[in-house]
Amino acid sequence: MKLIDPFRDPEPIKSAIRHLQPKAISCADQLGRPVQIMEVCGGHTHTLFKFGLPELLPKQIEFVHGPGCPVCVLPRAVIDQAIALATRADVIFTTFGDALRVPGSEHSLQAVRAQGADVRVLYSPADALVLAQQNPSKQVVFFAIGFETTMPSTALVIQQAAKQGFENFSVLSHHITIMPTLRALLDRDDVLIDGFIGPGHVSAIIGEQAYRDIADHYQKPLVISGFEPLDIVQSIDMLLTQLVEQRCDIENQYTRVVKSKGNQAALNAMYDVFAIDSEDALWRGLGQIKDSGAPISNAYAHFDAAKRFALPVQNQEIDCSGYCDQVMIGKLKPSQCPHFGKSCSPQQPMGALMVSTEGACSAYYRYRPLMENSEVV
Amino acid sequence: MASELSKETLTSAKQNEKKKDLITLAHGSGGAAMAGLINNILKPIFNNSWLNEGEDQARINMADLLADLAPSDQNRLAITTDSYVINPIEFPGGDIGKLAACGTLNDLAVGGAIPRFLSVSFILEEGLPVERLAKMAHSIQQVAEQEGVAVVTGDTKVVPRGAADGLFVNTTGVGIIPSQRSLGCRYIQPGDALIVNGQVGNHGAAIADVRDGLGFTSILKSDCASLNNLIQSVLHQFSSVRCIRDATRGGVAAVANEFAQVSECDLELWEAELPLHDSVKAICELLGFDPLHLANEGNALWVVDSSEKDAVLAQLLSHPLGRNARIIGEAKAAKSKPRVTAKNALGTSRIIDLPVGELLPRIC
């Protein structure tokens, strides 16, 4: 905790906010409207709300909560596939904890577990291999989701399973990549985003240069940020500085973790096991996004649970409450959605943004500014 | 009856049962095996005259119930019951026996009651080592003895393998609330101080740690403890305590929300003041938990009239179970629907709701 505490110390945070205030005012004056900053990653959304930063920051800054919560964008069709596997008598289905509550077409994994399916929560995919070893008469399936952050660990486990010749281990993979999605967002003509706070953990793997397109092609500044409040305030300051100076660069505030070239060993494992950006993927709320899917490559097809169990092809329909996509591109604030806090709450999530603690709607619900409270309770 | 057996038979039977034996369905059948289990294992552990009478119910004289309390029409009987199903049965800082005794005694004490008697019921899974049962019974008795309470009646049932998880325990506690004491969350007033007597979330974090093998076991222990002595020491001196509630499942957040609803006051918690073990902070950061949602088993939320808050705090700090006590917030007049908020070091606030469902770790 000694590593974290200095980044939560109120004085440096307040001083950094005072420092960026004139820049925010000047940017907003230039634009004739508030500055819109998208924090791509759900972890950043969580920090913003947990520490109440929007209350402290100048009102000339507005946040658009981005699509970078892998649980939130899990399509219903993939949950249905997971349930189809989990309810087989010969399968032990393993998953990260927060995928349990995500609603599929009819059920969630949590609901089928209550009905008797063998669904187990893991902290690391490596634990799934241990389970496979301990249960030779069962098929152990690992539900692999997430961006480049979790992809290397899935890749390493698949490599290990191949090396050791596991016959009862496979992976239901719905890994997706972040850049195609940011491109898809920026290609829309109804998005008013002035700059990005770039994801910290994803960047630790893919490095700084992966975002080049955002600055060069789309002319937007991006600052890779750490997850503590001081990190975020500093990153906002760096973004505003670029805007004031009318620059568009990829900058890195999170230098204590993110190296310019990323993590080569992790990238090697990833590119060995996954066919990165090779097919379109379905995102809940956003629909089909070109090249954002990273299926298991042919060399490791043996460990692809969708192939091993001959799962039907995913239903391609766009699923959301009708408003999720507008929240995800920043057109609506979560509390402006007609379902928010009424028919959609963390207890009964309709859309996936309400499921994970890092989803914009769930974060909004849990940490909503007190002034908004009276509307939603 | 234990008393009818010779000492030698008793000792050898005890050793036999303890060392090798496993609980079988026969131990719940009402026959000799059950009698052996009760008479040779359980009765000698809980040993007291009420239990040893061997009737279907413990028969308690009114005088024994009152003990050294002055008789009064205003004395009240307090009864509480709770079941314990924790997995794992033994954990850093306690076991299901200690938990079952402390939990029920705490539920009596937080209401201002002086605990007097306990009942204990075991639901045993076929295949449980008898030795394990004896160990848990000893844990219960150890707490009972320390608090001057007798286990006066009980029950054992055996269910087939798979129908329970090792053993489940139910305890019921009986105590007396002396005439002059009146605690309740309806007495909470704006301005009252909120105090915790110990570090927040240690039990919940310790259990998550052992269940999931996070590796903090050497430094983090459950706070499982009987708060009876601590509570009596405060209530004996101060009449300004409005209410106390042990912050078990749902943690401080759940208790604070219950207090807010009943009292119709807002409760403001001060995050920077929460006494937190470094390992709990780390586990919460790793898994995305809020320490306010984590269970405690030896930590209560106290609401105290602000005029005596410092004196009550000083008294808590002087007791081993209160040495981490801290004033962590205050009650305020509710502007609309009463709610619980947490103010952080930056001065911003967030709403503290009840936890939603089971606590699920996040992936990244």
Nearest to A370 among B212, B351, B364 (CB): B351
Q: Compute the distance between CA of residue B11 and CA of residue A253 in angstroms, rounded to an integer.
A: 71
* pLDDT, position B3: 44
- The band of A377, judged by pLDDT with boundaries at 50, 70 and 90, is very low
Q: B215 and B91 in one domain?
A: no
Nearest to A56 among B288, B346, B364 (CB): B346
Nearest one of A111, A72, A28, A18 to A364, comparing CA atoms:
A72
Condensed to tens digits (0 to 9), the pLDDT of residues A179-232 reads: 998 898 888 877 789 999 999 999 999 999 999 999 999 999 999 999 999 999
Q: B189 and B336 in one domain?
A: yes
What string of DSSP letters covers B152-219?
A: EEEEEEEE-TTSSSSEEEEEEEEEEE-TT----GGG--TT-EEEESS-SSHHHHHHHHHHHT-S-TTT
Q: B151 φ, ψ to 5°?
A: -90, 105
Condensed to tens digits (0 to 9), the pLDDT of residues B168-213 reads: 999 999 999 999 999 999 999 999 999 999 999 999 999 988 887 7
B233 inside domain: yes
Of the residues A95, A373, A375, A376, the best mutation for testing chain B's interface (the one with the most B CB atoms within 10 Å of its CB) is A373
Q: What is the mean pLDDT of residues A250-265?
A: 96
- Give the percent of chain A with pLDDT over 70: 94
Q: B302 φ, ψ to 5°?
A: -110, 135
Q: Compute the distance between CA of residue A82 and CA of residue A170 in angstroms, rounded to an integer.
A: 12
Q: What is the mean pLDDT of residues B7-29?
A: 69
- Altogether, the residues listed in chain A come to a count of 377
Last residue of a domain, one of B134, B152, B177: B177
Choice between A180 and B107, residue whose per-residue pLDDT is larger:
B107
* pLDDT, position A331: 77
Q: B190 and B144 in one domain?
A: no
B129 inside domain: yes
Residue B215 pLDDT > 80, yes or no?
no
Q: Compute the distance between CA of residue B181 and CA of residue B187 in angstroms, rounded to an integer.
A: 12
Q: Give contacts of B364 with chain A, Cβ < 8 Å.
A: 43, 70, 146, 149-150, 201
Burial B87-123 (b: 16+ CB within 10 A, else e): eebbbbbbbbbbbbbbbbbbbbbbbbbbbbbbbbbbb
Condensed to tens digits (0 to 9), the pLDDT of residues B285-322 reads: 888 889 999 999 999 999 999 999 999 999 999 999 99
Q: Compute the distance between CA of residue B340 and CA of residue B354 in angstroms, rounded to an integer.
A: 10
Residue B363 pLDDT > 60, yes or no?
no
User: For strand B114-125 and strand B193-196, is the pairing parallel, antiparallel, or unpaired?
Assistant: unpaired
Does B360 contact A13 at a Cβ distance shorter than 8 Å?
Answer: no
Choice between A89 and A370, residue whose per-residue pLDDT is larger:
A89
- Identify the closest residue of chain A to B354 by CA–CA distance: A366
- Identify the closest residue of chain A to B357 by CA–CA distance: A347
Of the residues A50, A148, A150, the best mutation for testing chain B's interface (the one with the most B CB atoms within 10 Å of its CB) is A50
Give the distance from residue A1's alpha carbon to the nearest chain B alpha carbon, in angstroms. Answer: 6
Last residue of a domain, one of B151, B177, B203: B177
Q: B190 and B124 in one domain?
A: no
Lowest mean pLDDT among A291-295, A362-366, B205-209, B312-316: A362-366
Q: Specify the DSSP class assigned to residue A314.
A: P
Give the distance from residue A4's alpha carbon to the nearest chain B alpha carbon, in angstroms. Answer: 10
Residue A370 pLDDT > 60, yes or no?
no
Q: Give contacts of A101 with chain B, Cβ < 8 Å.
A: 357, 360
Q: Is B162 on the interface with A (CB under 8 A)?
A: no
Last residue of a domain, one of B177, B205, B236: B177
Condensed to tens digits (0 to 9), the pLDDT of residues A47-83 reads: 998 898 998 999 999 998 888 888 888 888 899 999 9
Q: Is B336 on the interface with A (CB under 8 A)?
A: yes
- The band of A147, judged by pLDDT with boundaries at 50, 70 and 90, is very high
> Which chain A residues in 129-168 lie under 8 Å from chain B, judged by CB atoms?
145-146, 149-150
Q: B310 and B253 in one domain?
A: yes
> Which chain B residues in 18-37 lie under 8 Å from chain A, judged by CB atoms?
none
- The band of B10, judged by pLDDT with boundaries at 50, 70 and 90, is low
CATH superfamily name and code, A66-316: HypD, alpha/beta domain 2 (3.40.50.11740)
Q: Compute the distance between CA of residue B313 and CA of residue B110 in angstroms, rounded to an integer.
A: 16
Q: B145 and B253 in one domain?
A: no
Q: B165 and B196 in one domain?
A: no
Q: Compute the distance between CA of residue A367 and CA of residue A290 in angstroms, rounded to an integer.
A: 34
Nearest to A370 among B345, B349, B356 (CB): B349
* pLDDT, position B5: 47
Q: B200 and B134 in one domain?
A: no
The whole domain housing B205 covers 185-351
* pLDDT, position B323: 97
ipTM of the complex: 0.79
The CATH number of the domain where B228 resides is what?
3.90.650.10
Q: Compute the distance between CA of residue B174 and CA of residue B76 in angstroms, rounded to an integer.
A: 11
Alpha-carbon separation of residue A58 from A14, A23, A28, A34, B344 (angstroms): 12, 10, 11, 10, 19
**Model confidence, pTM:** 0.85
Q: Give contacts of A50 with chain B, Cβ < 8 Å.
A: 350
Q: Compute the distance between CA of residue B337 and CA of residue B345 in angstroms, rounded to an integer.
A: 25
Instruction: Report helix, strand or coil for B295.
Output: coil
| Count: domains in chain B | 2
Choice between A289 and B262, residue whose per-residue pLDDT is larger:
B262
Q: Give contacts of A229 with chain B, Cβ < 8 Å.
A: 346
Mean pLDDT of chain A: 89
Chain A to chain B Cβ contacts (< 8 Å): 86
Of the CA atoms within 13 Å of residue B364, those in its CB half-sphere come to: 22
* pLDDT, position A376: 33
Nearest to B344 among A52, A100, A101 (CB): A52
Residue B15 pLDDT > 90, yes or no?
no
B94 inside domain: yes
Give the distance from residue B356's alpha carbon to the nearest chain A alpha carbon, in angstroms. Answer: 6
* pLDDT, position A316: 60
Q: Compute the distance between CA of residue B136 and CA of residue A360 in angstroms, rounded to an integer.
A: 46
B259 inside domain: yes
Q: Compute the distance between CA of residue A300 and CA of residue A281 in angstroms, rounded to an integer.
A: 19
- Altogether, the residues listed in chain B come to a count of 364
Condensed to tens digits (0 to 9), the pLDDT of residues B21-79 reads: 899 999 988 889 999 999 999 999 999 999 999 999 999 999 999 988 988 989 999 99
Give the distance from residue B255's alpha carbon to the nearest chain A alpha carbon, in angstroms. Answer: 17
* pLDDT, position B2: 40
* pLDDT, position A4: 82
Nearest to B337 among A121, A123, A377 (CB): A377
User: Which secondary-structure segment (H or E) carries A195?
Assistant: strand A195-198
The CATH number of the domain where B45 resides is what?
3.30.1330.10
Does B360 contact A100 at a Cβ distance shorter than 8 Å?
Answer: yes
B231 inside domain: yes
